[in-house]
Amino acid sequence: MPRSIPSTNINIGLFLSRSKRSKSSRIAPERGGPSDNHHLLAYQIPFVSLRGLVKALAFRVVSLYALVAQWWSARPTVLFNIEFDHGDVLEGYVIPDGFSDVSQIAVFDRDDNLGVFPCDQLRPAVVSSGRHETGRVGFRLDSDKIPHLGYRSRLSIREAKTGVLVYRRAQIDSPVQKKVFRLETQLFPMRKFDESCGDFFQYRLDSIERFGHETSQQAFHMTFMESVYLSGRLLMKNYENYLANGFQGVVLLHNPYYEMGLRIFLLKRMATMALPFLGPRDQMILKPAAEYFADANLEDADALKRLLKRAPGKVTGVLRSPMTRQFAATSFEQTVTRRDAAPAIDLLSRFSVIGHVDDLIAFQRTLSSVLEIPVSDEVLPARHAQLDRLASTLSTLNIAELLLEEDLIFDHYVRRAIKFAALSTQDTHAKSKEN
């Protein structure tokens, strides 16, 4: 499998045709591609009086405002950076979430807590930009505050309130001198994988979507360090410029039905227990779906079919083609259509390592080659029999297929493109050996 799927080597037009037909296409990968036997749905639009329409719109605006306010207050946004590290003196800044808050940093040497220090250094630009009331967001560490600071090779600094890693010195003697971002495409993150790979880099921050858009962007701007590993379930349209400015993208794609089954399984569990890997925004968005699937019988195909058919918009929005949305949408409220498959694949082609769960060995081999690090079998995602059964059941339901229509198109043509690129690479290697 090649290290990447560059857009210059893969002609997307070979695999995607922009049909102007109004009829939807039903994806049947097991038969080799799309077919035109999808069931068309007819919708009846009831008459609504002008007064009723105004009331409905007003209610929606108020509800939307309350939702945005709740999300804004829940997100733990932190802006930070390191300005220099001269060994015996180190400076940086941490801008807290609250306009008048006093930020603090917690300093560690390996697992030893060396203390909590206020950020009391003035940064006038922060005041002029309206980011903070006093501008006292900078910090300065020296040997007076941290004895033997210059000799602490495993020093790390975190924002005291959120625990976000602000800076750390290299944890190994020769860290990988690359900037890598791994796009998470599953609701359940690959924690072991990130821990294993991220330890080869100086800076590492996992699941960055938990900290909000601004903090996620800040992580891409760690200009002081050239060894950075980030991972997160982000909407890539908002971050695609970083793939052209120093970051190498890594992504492992999953079967759409399996991902839907995983989401439903996690939503059912979320109704009775907290899922610590979800941030405040995700918990708020997923809450209606979790309540809806709380009593779902995942072993009963007919019951599952009824639930999916009757699901309200807040529930179907969580399940509807999440993978395509990650590559084509700029907001979680934005819906995607079949026309988004081509631009989604185009954005995917800018990643340096593209793998599919159907061939984990190729993904493992390619990632090890590109990053020049060992990738253990133990950190690769394992398949679960219960989820396999659930995915198999979902694949027989027309309503599940309708919800996943864009993802099924995306997955079908991406797997075809990967196979095409792999065969082309094999032919090139064979010809080079002959010569």
DSSP string of 137-162, one letter each residue: EEEEEETTTSTTGGG-TTEEEEETTT
Q: d(Cα 403, Cα 259) in Å, to the nearest integer? A: 12
Count of CB atoms within 10 A of residue 374's CB? 11
- Residue of 424, 204, 208, 244 whose CA lies nearest to 351: 244
User: How high is the pLDDT of residue 44?
Assistant: 28
* High-pLDDT (> 70) share of the chain, %: 80
67 pLDDT more than 70? no
Q: Is the model more confident about 218 or about 17?
A: 218
User: How high is the pLDDT of residue 420?
Assistant: 82
Q: What is the mean pLDDT of the chain?
A: 82
Confidence of residue 345 (pLDDT cuts 50, 70, 90): very high
10 Å CB burial of residue 395 (0-12, 13-18, 19+) is: buried
- Residue of 180, 183, 277 whose CA lies nearest to 233: 183
Q: d(Cα 150, Cα 136) in Å, to the nearest integer? A: 25
57 pLDDT more than 60? no
397 pLDDT more than 70? yes
Confidence of residue 35 (pLDDT cuts 50, 70, 90): very low
291 pLDDT more than 90? yes
User: What is residue 414's three-state secondary structure?
Assistant: helix
145 pLDDT more than 90? yes
Please give the structure tokens belonging to residue 25.
């296409």
Strands 79-85 and 33-35 turn out to be unpaired
Its pTM surpasses 0.75:
yes
Window from 38-42, 212-216, 268-272 with minimum mean pLDDT: 38-42
Q: d(Cα 362, Cα 2) in Å, to the nearest integer? A: 9
> If you average pLDDT over residues 69-90, what whole number do you get?
73
> If you average pLDDT over residues 378-384, what whole number do you get?
88
Q: d(Cα 40, Cα 402) in Å, to the nearest integer? A: 10
The phi and psi torsions of 384 (rounded to 5 degrees) equal -115, 135
- Residue of 245, 244, 239 whose CA lies nearest to 214: 239
The C-alpha R_g of the chain, in whole angstroms, comes to 24
User: What is residue 426's three-state secondary structure?
Assistant: helix
User: How high is the pLDDT of residue 346?
Assistant: 93
Window from 25-29, 73-77, 88-92, 397-401 with minimum mean pLDDT: 25-29
- Residue of 209, 260, 210 whose CA lies nearest to 238: 209
* High-pLDDT (> 90) share of the chain, %: 62
Give a three-class secondary structure readout of 243-303. Answer: HHCCEEEEEEECCHHHHHHHHHHHHHHHCCCCCCCCCHHHHHHHHHHHHHCCCCCCCCHHH
254 pLDDT more than 60? yes
71 pLDDT more than 90? no
Residue 320 vs residues 58, 313, 404, 413: alpha-carbon distances, Å? 27, 10, 6, 18
Q: Give the count of alpha carbons within 13 A of 152, CB side only.
A: 24
> If you average pLDDT over residues 232-254, what whole number do you get?
95
10 Å CB burial of residue 198 (0-12, 13-18, 19+) is: buried
User: How high is the pLDDT of residue 279?
Assistant: 85
Count of CB atoms within 10 A of residue 418's CB? 21
Q: d(Cα 96, Cα 273) in Å, to the nearest integer? A: 30
CB 185 within 8 A of CB 254: yes
User: What is residue 333's three-state secondary structure?
Assistant: coil
pLDDT in tens, 155-204: 999 999 889 999 999 988 899 999 999 999 999 999 999 999 999 999 99
User: What is residue 85's three-state secondary structure?
Assistant: strand
Element (H, E) at 375: none
Contacts of 6 (CB under 8 A, 6+ apart): 349
